[in-house]
Structure 1
Amino acid sequence: MRKTIQLHTEPHVVEVGDVELLFEPEVMGDAFVDAYAELAEAQKAKGVNLENLADADPGVLRKTLRSVRVFLARQMLPESAELFTRLDVVVGGKVVGSFHDLDEAEEFAAQHPGALIRDVLRLPTRVVAEILEWIVELYGGGGSRPTTSSSASAVGSRPAGMRGTAPSPSKASTRTRGR
């Protein structure tokens, strides 16, 4: 008996508007899990729950979204990664500097009154989140997230199927005995 397993050789493509982002055809499992674990640990250290970004502080959220972009860029081909992570510092509608590191961009912007930092490829948060979900499914083996240390992952959903037959706490507390 023989089994043949094919390796992908063509890049995976995400089309966002008129932009194509090219992802590595294959990412080695250990490299992907390590990158995902780094992302999860960074978010945990910042107190950010990637599953619930609505409750995050805006400054922390900005850094969180940046770390998600950096994680995704690690899975991309170089040209797409460069576009996806490039930040422009803009003053009065004019680009005065371009960076890939948020801290460097912030430091530069602080020296230019009225400067704004903008992603070159501006995307709604939901789009970045959708790309993240797709990449985790694609490279993480088809599950909802790759296996990481227990401290880096959220509690999983209840397994599907019938619930237990024990009485619910509300029923147990309202029953009267001996009447």
Structure 2
Amino acid sequence: MAEKLFSFNTQPHVAKLGDSAELHFIPEVFGDQFLDGYKKIQDAREKISGQTDLTALSSEELRSLYAAMRTFLAGLMTPESAAEFLRFEVIKGGKTVADFRSRDEADAHAATVTGARVEDKSMRLPDRVLTELLEWVTELYGGGDSRPTGPSSGSSRASRRAGAPSKASSRSKGSTSTRGASAR
């Protein structure tokens, strides 16, 4: 009888944000959970029509991309962290009547409640940190840690240098080190 032990993570992954905040991500993703969420980010990027310079994007295009990124990340978090990270509250008379993970759902609910408005109570993070979180999660769930770090056996060899090797000598009789030297 053959036996093989398969292991998987059972403890949440933790992203530490500064000295006090933490976001907990589910230990493993199952099925197409990661791929479906990542596809939404890719779709948002395609709508931006291949722009790589974020400063050239309209505010609506950026909002769409950031919303896709935040939704993707929240979908991989534990419920408690997702509730802190992405939350839209429907407010009426100064009191929260409902909260949602999606702005569209919150807007739809607010439309059914007379005098209600939606407030974005999501965790605020600098764009740089949001992007770093996305990269970390992609590496974490996308199989980045399982990739070999050395060259693969199928890699091609380096090209030979053109010409014959030479044994040229330096014209200088002394050292020409410039370390620590300054222009005068």
Normalised TM-score (structure 2): 0.61
Query: Are residue 141 (structure 1) and residue 148 (structure 2) matched?
Result: no
Match of 1:122 in 2: 124
Task: Tell me the matched-pair count.
Answer: 145
Task: Name which of 42, 45, 59 aligns with 1:43.
Answer: 45
Q: Which has the larger radius of gyration?
A: 2
Following superposition, the deviation at residue 102 of structure 1 comes to 1.9
User: CA 1:118–1:23 in 2, change beyond 3 Å: closer, same or farther?
Assistant: same
User: CA 1:106–1:163 in 2, change beyond 3 Å: closer, same or farther?
Assistant: farther
Match of 2:56 in 1: 55
**Structure 2: distance between partners of 1:53 and 1:69:** 17
Following superposition, the deviation at residue 4 of structure 1 comes to 3.3
**Structure 2: distance between partners of 1:105 and 1:81:** 16
**Structure 1: distance between partners of 2:80 and 2:51:** 27
Query: Are residue 4 (structure 1) and residue 39 (structure 2) matched?
Result: no
Matches within 5 A, 1:1-179: 4-17=5-18, 18-28=20-30, 30-44=32-46, 46-47=47-48, 49=50, 52-88=53-89, 98-104=99-105, 117-142=119-144
**Structure 1: distance between partners of 2:61 and 2:156:** 35
Following superposition, the deviation at residue 101 of structure 1 comes to 2.1
The answer on whether the counterparts of 1:29 and 1:140 sit within 8 Å (CA) in structure 2 is: no
Query: Once the two structures are aligned, what percentage of the paired residues are identical?
Result: 38
Normalised TM-score (structure 1): 0.62
AA at the equivalent of 1:126: R
**Structure 1: distance between partners of 2:88 and 2:69:** 14
Structure having the larger proportion of residues in helix: 1
User: CA 1:163–1:120 in 2, change beyond 3 Å: closer, same or farther?
Assistant: farther
In angstroms, what is the RMSD of aligned CA positions?
3.8
**Structure 1: distance between partners of 2:35 and 2:133:** 17
Where in structure 1 are there 5+ consecutive unaligned residues?
Answer: 144-158, 167-179
Following superposition, the deviation at residue 105 of structure 1 comes to 5.0
Match of 2:152 in 1: none
The answer on whether the counterparts of 2:73 and 2:134 sit within 8 Å (CA) in structure 1 is: yes
User: CA 1:116–1:32 in 2, change beyond 3 Å: closer, same or farther?
Assistant: closer
Following superposition, the deviation at residue 61 of structure 1 comes to 0.6
Following superposition, the deviation at residue 40 of structure 1 comes to 0.9
